[in-house]
Chains A and B, each alone.
Chain A
């Protein structure tokens, strides 16, 4: 549970980054002429769609991790517990990826940003404009679903984390926690329709970076520490149990 809270926090902090891009979508979705309640419903639907996509991605990523780990007969673990080699390797890869994303938030590593942009997110978004303009509630839901699949470094980072959990369900839960974390900011954006001042947004991005960096370090340590322990104990057993 504590793990989920960490993810939620990271998602919350990270959502200040989201405001840059997805916040624009939330604003564009705008308010419903039928009143305040309808507007809130509209944005809830949008965010539900997004959350579903995230969960699905998390489930997929977790299942992928599971496939990688299956040969080792992995037991599903969250923050602690026994870890086998494959899972540890996954944790190292995911941790490194997350640290990379975090550094990108500080403006240090531009390659991930280019990767995200190069993926054609803008053309994808352009083709969805008809959904944005539509007054239907179903359109808001559908838009949320597609939005969830838009390339975004934050989502990549958490998908990597979900993979390292090595199970479809924990993977989905990971992404669900993250997705719920982004709820408040995105709902606020839609409701108020006002953009935070650039300084605050910058601070938010740094905060998100720090959170992801910490999470990445934790994930990385999950992969690295047992090996370190082995080395420290000077055991002759070359491979972990």
Chain B
């Protein structure tokens, strides 16, 4: 086990309170959230030389030995083996039971007492206080009974309750450790080691000490610890934690690799391209760590309930015992009180939310989806409307040619000439035109003397004529003739939300190319998948209404709010919230930060380079829009699990409490079902770890590529990042 920063249990990786249990194991200082985790950790990791590790097991074993013997002797008492002539043996048997029970209570009850004490110093009463009080009262009463030579001793009850609770806590902790395996790589990123190659020697160093330019060797099966470029070797890698897609990517010499991806089959030598702590992987891990330390609203409620419940239960136990003393002998009434204390122990309530939430966060993080606030995950399960930003979220954010308006030439000639010019440009618009020409099988016209005018357009000479393509201002600068029919058409197109490129030659503007943003190939299926989950979908954009309508119609959204400033978007969100209560907003995380922060759940697809400055509560990987329905599914599963856990814990506690208060439940049975209840909650939560991977929707990103839309002229331009020209 690697060393961990404070704040997490060494065993189950859940956040620990202000006063954790501390133990030295394997020479490292470990902190635990509960006694169960402490035992389980030592059982799993204890080295044979460690006396401390064995000590806990010895405690458990010797405690078990004593309590089982007490049970067997008590069995003899109950079945009446010491009646008649043997009756004079009875006090001695009682004394023997006391001799056995005293060390058992000290050994098994010690940790509970310590926990109660530590929390008591904070002024908090936890469930272990119930056990201490109940078992303590029973033990002390039985001890007096031995001294007074009375027949009623209940050492068996006292020790068996302790034994069952210890066992229950151990099983619970074992279950949580299983859950922790999901989160382990995410939390270990910063303490992970990299094999740094320096000259001929290889040293293991923590990732945070790796600087740019260092050489790092990664063996097959290892996680690549840093961003960099492959210098030597060839292998497949799995980049699921960054991109969300679990598939093998070939990496050879010169290929960039990302920290966090897993090297599958060959050794790689990688030159680091930045500090080890600056990678996206490290940011993801920090973000998960932050999210886990925060408490969701449900958890806060549960914690408060536990806080209130313990004193209440103590009072209830006392009152029950008092009530029964009127009709029963004191010892029987005491047992009823003990049963109430044991059965009302709210351990399962406190466990219901955090385990399910961390499992959900871990499940999402393994597919590259970040949850920065556990509350957002719970809110996401309750949303009824998803509002989308348009540009860069539902569309690629890159233009493509949607129409050609030619006045005095054929469309093919316009496209061929424009393509000939734009071949010399790296611009996004240039690529859109080149792709459109290629889609029609046109040969670009050879063009010479090409000069590009930044912010305006590009000009050159072909077939002895001056050729130019650019915006309206460029044409005015050139002073070329502009036919009024084209002028009107251009106004209409611009009003409709298209960007217009003017193409002319021979001192005349001959044609208009209208460019627009294309919806992402997966947008339509994503919207449909969300609708199937009963969610309303809306589109919000700062673009003109026509452009927004066109995109919305293409992907099947009816509710469109166009031409909105960020303030208007926020106001619109408020309106939606009045109707739909909980509203999610999906944006690209770059331009709409404030709006994302305003929504109940802000979801960013791709994100700002620095995750720490991200305002969205949930961040999907770049091109990860298709994962949104799956994320909603996971959130719903987490919420369902939490609710069933709480329903079970409360329902069970209430039912059993009634039985116990009526005196119909033996304390030992109560302890057995109580321990079982916590284990059940853990098992129920563990089902979350088996949630399926996101299903790739039809038209997923893997088959996204240049494709024809509309009349065949247009093609999506997706080859490289583009900058808008006008």
Give A residues with C-beta under 8 Å from B: 48-49, 52-53, 55-56, 59, 127-134, 136, 138-139, 141-146, 167-169, 172
Known: A131-B57, A168-B79. A141 touches B65 (CB 8 A): yes
Decide if A52 touches B50 in the complex (CB within 8 Å).
no
Decide if B65 touches A52 in the complex (CB within 8 Å).
yes
Contact pick for A130, options B54, B62, B69, CB 8 Å: B54
Contact pick for A139, options B58, B68, B72, B75, CB 8 Å: B58
Residues of B contacting A138 in the complex (Cβ-Cβ under 8 angstroms): 58, 61-62
From B65, which residue of chain A is reached at the shortest CB distance? A145
Known: A52-B68, A145-B65. A134 touches B79 (CB 8 A): no
Of B44, B48, B59, the most chain A CB neighbours within 10 A belong to: B48
Question: How close is A233's CB to chain B, nearest CB, in angstroms?
Answer: 35
Q: Per DSSP, are chain A's interface residues mostly helix, strand or loop, or mixed?
A: helix
- Supply 5 further A-B pairs (C-beta < 8 A) apart from A136-B58, A139-B57, A169-B79: A52-B72, A127-B44, A130-B53, A142-B57, A146-B64
Question: Within the assembled complex, what's the spacing in Å between the Cα atoms of A131 and B60?
Answer: 11
Question: Within the assembled complex, what's the spacing in Å between the Cα atoms of A132 and B68?
Answer: 21
Question: Within the assembled complex, what's the spacing in Å between the Cα atoms of A28 and B69?
Answer: 26
Question: How close is B649's CB to chain A, nearest CB, in angstroms?
Answer: 26
Question: How close is A195's CB to chain B, nearest CB, in angstroms?
Answer: 23
Interface residues on B, range: 20 to 34
Known: A55-B72, A59-B72, A168-B75. A49 touches B46 (CB 8 A): no
Question: How close is B177's CB to chain A, nearest CB, in angstroms?
Answer: 12
Decide if A53 touches B68 in the complex (CB within 8 Å).
yes
Contacts between chains A and B (CB distance < 8 A), count: 81
From B47, which residue of chain A is reached at the shortest CB distance? A130
Known: A129-B48, A169-B75, A169-B79. A52 touches B69 (CB 8 A): yes
Give B residues with C-beta under 8 Å from A: 43-44, 46-51, 53-54, 57-62, 64-65, 68-69, 71-72, 75-76, 79, 81
Decide if A56 touches B58 in the complex (CB within 8 Å).
no
Question: How close is B669's CB to chain A, nearest CB, in angstroms?
Answer: 11
Known: A130-B48, A130-B50. A142 touches B72 (CB 8 A): no
Residues of A contacting B44 in the complex (Cβ-Cβ under 8 angstroms): 127
Question: Within the assembled complex, what's the spacing in Å between the Cα atoms of A124 and B405?
Answer: 78
Known: A59-B71, A130-B50, A130-B53. A142 touches B79 (CB 8 A): no
Residues of A contacting B64 in the complex (Cβ-Cβ under 8 angstroms): 53, 142, 145-146
Residues of A contacting B48 in the complex (Cβ-Cβ under 8 angstroms): 129-130, 132-134
Decide if B76 touches A141 in the complex (CB within 8 Å).
no
Decide if B58 touches A131 in the complex (CB within 8 Å).
yes
Question: Within the assembled complex, what's the spacing in Å between the Cα atoms of A136 and B59?
Answer: 12
Decide if B61 touches A49 in the complex (CB within 8 Å).
yes
From B56, which residue of chain A is reached at the shortest CB distance? A130
Question: Within the assembled complex, what's the spacing in Å between the Cα atoms of A146 and B57?
Answer: 9
Question: How close is A122's CB to chain B, nearest CB, in angstroms?
Answer: 14
Residues of B contacting A130 in the complex (Cβ-Cβ under 8 angstroms): 46-48, 50, 53-54, 57
Question: How close is A176's CB to chain B, nearest CB, in angstroms?
Answer: 9
From B76, which residue of chain A is reached at the shortest CB distance? A169
Question: Within the assembled complex, what's the spacing in Å between the Cα atoms of A228 and B153?
Answer: 47
Known: A49-B65, A52-B65, A127-B43. A134 touches B58 (CB 8 A): yes
19 A-B contacts (beta carbon < 8 Å) = A49-B61, A53-B64, A55-B72, A127-B44, A130-B48, A130-B53, A131-B57, A131-B58, A133-B48, A133-B54, A134-B58, A139-B61, A141-B58, A143-B61, A144-B61, A145-B64, A168-B79, A169-B81, A172-B72
Residues of B contacting A144 in the complex (Cβ-Cβ under 8 angstroms): 61, 65
From A142, which residue of chain B is reached at the shortest CB distance? B61
Contact pick for B61, options A55, A59, A131, A133, CB 8 Å: A131
From A146, which residue of chain B is reached at the shortest CB distance? B61
